[in-house]
Every structure is written in structure tokens, then in C-alpha cells.
């Protein structure tokens, strides 16, 4: 349908406008048509990352887009990743590896090398695949950042990409957002904007049509589609931290038994890999909600303390808000708690951190008897494990898989292991906890009563492991009427969500127009907004 190497860029009027979702939907739609397609995001800013088979980490949105394409996640799809550790500094990850910690001024000094990395990766993907669907970052209207832009018009101009701009009508003012995004760009950038897409529309499209016609008259560009709001779509493909306190995760189905199991996920200020709780939300009868105050923990059957990009700082936040005290009371009363990665580290007695925060020795919550020390080398690897047979209430012998992204190491523990590591796909760093190449089984995580902890992200996506563990959680919580559904498969739920996205794209996007952009590139003769307005003014 398109020449080899066809590519386009999906930009957005704002962060969270729907770029990631639209890219995933287009990728899935093309894949179903037999097109060899790959995703690409030159630069991402996200603490939701995934470990790849080729030895690094990328934004989770690009991992989901790769799945939409039928591909394994690769650092090629997201060569530059910024992981914010504070409002001013971010960890800079290039081709999957940490190379620096930077602020805005520091990042400016890296721009020449990073442009070369981006150009090389995109060129290689275009040579290998029929189509590459690129995703922008934030908004191209951030003209204060244009000089260092690698992911929006900087990428489009360098590679000659046609650009579609997505706007979220649910926020209001979408026609102004689309027009204004185009209008603030310099003429050379404007000529690459080939059209618009409206996302999350509710109601009769006919009522919107006069506005779309006027937008075309003002800009000389068509709207290639109006994607409807879809209540069934909930798997988060975005990179923004869309974990609003009080917001439910997913669309929980009715319980199999007579009782629900409620889960409170702690909304840490620097939460990372927040998508770990999605697997719980896939289960019928499990209601997951984000919370950021002690009252949100009181009635929950299970509390999850997720990962963090700033473990010591987020631990201090737990204390300031009263959450730490609430967690301690809960543990003393036998209430189930799960800590994952940074959340697991916070549960220990002592953290020594001269790397991430530079705080030195800090007291942990003391819910698990262990000490954590941060190392300079980040552990990045995919991991396979089984439930530890000697641990109380572990899914003994049940296989599970996950991935590790952490600087903190367990230096001492008096707790029973929750898991035994059975294999590693090492992405570089050696975990000093293990002292082994992985040939022998290594203890991982810890259990004390109804408190569990692990460094493994994605652990709960292992269906049988999750079912057995949730049954134990329900017992501790006194939910005797809760029954785990026997057939829930997280991978199938994600696949169904991607197919739903593809259906929305197929049904509501101008596919012929999309094909022309992929086959022919940037349309000729696209006017700048200034010239269009002058022509309209002259006609009047």
C-alpha cells in the first residue's frame, strides 16, 4: 500500500491529547492489513519504562505500540528517554542506557549527538520496515523549545515527514488548539502539517462539521478523522502520569463470587511503572483506585506501594502526608500490603542512598526487616522466577516473569523470600544481591505476614501466579466471598484493547488519506496560516 520506508509523525496539541493511542491504533490497523510497521518516538519523558530484549529500557507506550505491530520492544523504537527524578533534573537514557543526569541547560549541550542518534535510528527503521509511525512529544507549539526539539517539528523537518496533529475535544477548545498549534509555527514547519485528527468526540459529528469546514478554510488542511470517545478503552498507552488520585483503574467486571476485592494504589509524587497495577484491574471483582491520602487506605483490602524514580523523596512524602503511619497501622493489623521496586525498598528498615538522592542513610518504614543500598550501576534485565516453597503464603513453585529496573540492592534481609530467580536476560548490569550468574536459584523479594515486596515489575501479569496470590490476599483481608476468575489473561486483555483501537481508527479515520501521506509524503502547496488569512481577508 505504501512505498518502503513510508513514515509520518503524529503530533498533539498538548500532552495526553491521544498521540500514543492514535499511534498504537494506526500500527495495529496496518499490522492487521499485512503491513510491516514499526513505532518510533525519538524522545520520551516518562518514568513508565520497560526492559527490552536488546539490552535497555524504553517508554512503556512504545513497548505497547511494538506489541500493536507484532514486535518485541526494542531500544530502536525509543532511542532517547528522560526519566524525571525531580522537577528540574532527569536521568538521560540513550539507546536504553543511562548516560547522564541532566537539567534543561545540560540537555542543551547533548543536542548535536542526540540528533545524530535519532536520525540514525529512524533511517535504519525506514530501511527495514514498510512504514514507521512516529509519535511526537508534548506539543510542537512549545516554540520556546524549538531549538532543541528532537521529537516534533525538528524530527519532521530533518526527515521530511508529513505531520498529523491530534487534539482532545474532551478538554474543550479543540478547534482553537489545532489552529493555534499550526499558527505559532514558522512557515517551514507549517508546510509539514498535513492535517488534523480529533480525539474523544462525544455526540453527533454533524454538529461539529461546520467547525471542521471552517478550520479547513482557515488552514488549507483537512481533518482526517474524528475518533469517538470509547468507554471500553482503558489500557493506558500514554506516557503522561495519568494516575489521578481517586481515579479508578480499568473497567472492573462484576465479581465471580459474592464479594469485591478493593485495591488502593498509592499515588507517589514520582511514581514509576504505575502500570503494574493494570494486571489487577483486569480481574473481575477487583476494583483498583489511586489514592494519595491516609483515608484512601483505610477501607482497602490491599494496598500497593508502586515503584518510584525518587525513592527517598517519596518516602519522605509518605511521612509528611500521614501515609507512612497509616501503612504501619495496617501492617500491625495484618492488612495486606504489596511493595514493588521503590515501594518495596521503602518497606525496609534502612536505605543508604548516595546515588539517587544523595541523602545517605535514611530510615525506612520497617515493615520488612531488610537494608537497601543504592549502587551506581542500574540493574536492567528480564527475569523469570518461581514462588519460593519455603515462604509462608507464597504461590510455591508457580512460575512468573517480570523485569527489573533499579539502583537499590538488598544488602541484608531477615525475611523469607517471596520468589526464587530461575533465569535472567541480562541487559548489562550485574546485581550484587545475587552474587551469581543466575545458574542457581537466587532469593528475591520478601514476605512477612501479609506484607510482600519484590523488585520485579510486571510480576502480576503472570496469570496463574496472580490468581493464587490474590486468593491469599482475599483470605488475609477476610473476603471469603471473593473468588478469582479462572480464565483472565492479561495478555489477551491488552491484545483486545489494541484491536479495539485499530477498529476505532479503521472506522473513523480517512484511511485513503493516510495511505496517500505514507506513499507520497508531504503534500505540495500547503499554505502557511498567515497567507491563508491574507487570502481570506482579501476575498472579503
The residues that are catalytic are: 341, 457
Is the separation of the CB atoms in 107 and 92 below 8 Å? Answer: yes
DSSP letter string over 334-402? T--EEEETHHHHHTSSEEEESSSS--EEEE---SS-EEEEEEEEEEEEEEEEEE-TTSTT--BT-EEEE
Q: Cα separation of 240 and 254, whole Å?
A: 29
Residue 421, strand partner residues? 385, 442
Chain-centroid distance of CA 191 in Å reads 31
Q: Measured between alpha carbons, how far is residue 277 from residues 264, 305, 445, 448, 459 in Å? A: 10, 10, 18, 21, 10
Copy the grid coordinates of residue 47.
518514568
Backbone angles phi, psi at 81, to 5 degrees: -130, 125
Taking Cα atoms as reference points, which of 108, 15, 164, 89 lies closest to residue 523? 164
Q: Reduce the DSSP state of residue 49 to 3 states and report it.
A: strand
CB atoms within 10 A of CB 434: 17
Q: What is the Cβ-side half-sphere exposure of residue 389, based on CA atoms within 13 angstroms?
A: 2
* Helix pair angle (529-539, 174-183), 10° resolution: 110
Instruction: In the chain, count H helices and then E strands.
Output: 17, 27
Classify residue 521 by burial, with Cβ atoms within 10 Å: 0-12, 13-18, 19+.
Answer: middle
Copy the grid coordinates of residue 290.
489511586
Amino acid at each position: 500500500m505504501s512505498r518502503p520506508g513510508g513514515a509520518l509523525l503524529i503530533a498533539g496539541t498538548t500532552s495526553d491529547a491521544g498521540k500514543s493511542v492514535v499511534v498504537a491504533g494506526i500500527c495495529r490497523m496496518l499490522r492487521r492489513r499485512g503491513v510491516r510497521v514499526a513505532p518510533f518516538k525519538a524522545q520520551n519523558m516518562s518514568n513508565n519504562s520497560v526492559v527490552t530484549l536488546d539490552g535497555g529500557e524504553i517508554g512503556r507506550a512504545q513497548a505497547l505500540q511494538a506489541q500493536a505491530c507484532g514486535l518485541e520492544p526494542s531500544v530502536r523504537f525509543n532511542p532517547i528517554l528522560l526519566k524525571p527524578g525531580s522537577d528540574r533534573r532527569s536521568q538521560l537514557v540513550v539507546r536504553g542506557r543511562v548516560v547522564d543526569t541532566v537539567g534543561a541547560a545540560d540537555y542543551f549541550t547533548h543536542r548535536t549527538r542526540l540528533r545524530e542518534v535519532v536520525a540514525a535510528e529512524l533511517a535504519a527503521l525506514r530501511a527495514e520496515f514498510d512504514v514507521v509511525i512516529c509519535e511526537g512529544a508534548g506539543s510542537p507549539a512549545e516554540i520556546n523549545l524549538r531549538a532543541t526539539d528532537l521529537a516534533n517539528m525538528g524530527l519532521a523537518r530533518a526527515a521530511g515527514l508529513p505531520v498529523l496533529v491530534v487534539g482532545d475535544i474532551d478538554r474543550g477548545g479543540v478547534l482553537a488548539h489545532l489552529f493555534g498549534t499550526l499558527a505559532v509555527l514558522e512557515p517551514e514547519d507549517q508546510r509539514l502539517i498535513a492535517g488534523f485528527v480529533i480525539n474523544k468526540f462525544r455526540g453527533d459529528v454533524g454538529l461539529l462539521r461546520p467547525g471542521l469546514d471552517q478550520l479547513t478554510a482557515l488552514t488549507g488542511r483537512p481533518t482526517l478523522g474524528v475518533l469517538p470517545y470509547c468507554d471500553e478503552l482503558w489500557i493506558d498507552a500514554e506516557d503522561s502520569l495519568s494516575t489521578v488520585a481517586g481515579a479508578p483503574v480499568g473497567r472492573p467486571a462484576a465479581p465471580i463470587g459474592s464479594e469485591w476485592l478493593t485495591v488502593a494504589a498509592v499515588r507517589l509524587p514520582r511514581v514509576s511503572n504505575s502500570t503494574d497495577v493494570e494486571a489487577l484491574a483486569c480481574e473481575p471483582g477487583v476494583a483498583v483506585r489511586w489514592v494519595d491520602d491516609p483515608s484512601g487506605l483505610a477501607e482497602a483490602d490491599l494496598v500497593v506501594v508502586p515503584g518510584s524514580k525518587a525513592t527517598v523523596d517519596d518516602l519522605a512524602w509518605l511521612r509528611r502526608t500521614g501515609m507512612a503511619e497509616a501503612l504501619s497501622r495496617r501492617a500491625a493489623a495484618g492488612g495486606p500490603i504489596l511493595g514493588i521496586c521503590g515501594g518495596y525498598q521503602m518497606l525496609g528498615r534502612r536505605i543508604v542512598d548516595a546515588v539517587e538522592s544523595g541523602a545517605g542513610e535514611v530510615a525506612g518504614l520497617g515493615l520488612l526487616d531488610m537494608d537497601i543500598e543504592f549502587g551506581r550501576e542500574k540493574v536492567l534485565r528480564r527475569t523469570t522466577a518461581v514462588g519460593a516453597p519455603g515462604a509462608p503464603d507464597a504461590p510455591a513453585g508457580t512460575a512468573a516473569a517480570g523485569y527489573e529496573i533499579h539502583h537499590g540492592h538488598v544488602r541484608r534481609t531477615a525475611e523469607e523470600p517471596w520468589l526464587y530467580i530461575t533465569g535472567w536476560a541480562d541487559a548489562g548490569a550485574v546485581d550484587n544481591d545475587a552474587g551469581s550468574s543466575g545458574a542457581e536459584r537466587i532469593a528475591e523479594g520478601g514476605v512477612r505476614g501479609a506484607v510482600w515486596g519484590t523488585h520485579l515489575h510486571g510480576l502480576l501479569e503472570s496469570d496463574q501466579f496472580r490468581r493464587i496470590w490474590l486468593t491469599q490476599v482475599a483470605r488475609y483481608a477476610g473476603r471469603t466471598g471473593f473468588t478469582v476468575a479462572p480464565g483472565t489473561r492479561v495478555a489477551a486483555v491488552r491484545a483486545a484493547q489494541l484491536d479495539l483501537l485499530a477498529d476505532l481508527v479503521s472506522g473513523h479515520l480517512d484511511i485513503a488519506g493516510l495511505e496517500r501521506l505514507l506513499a507520497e509524503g508531504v503534500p505540495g502547496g500547503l499554505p502557511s496560516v498567515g497567507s491563508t488569512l491574507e487570502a481570506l481577508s482579501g476575498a472579503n
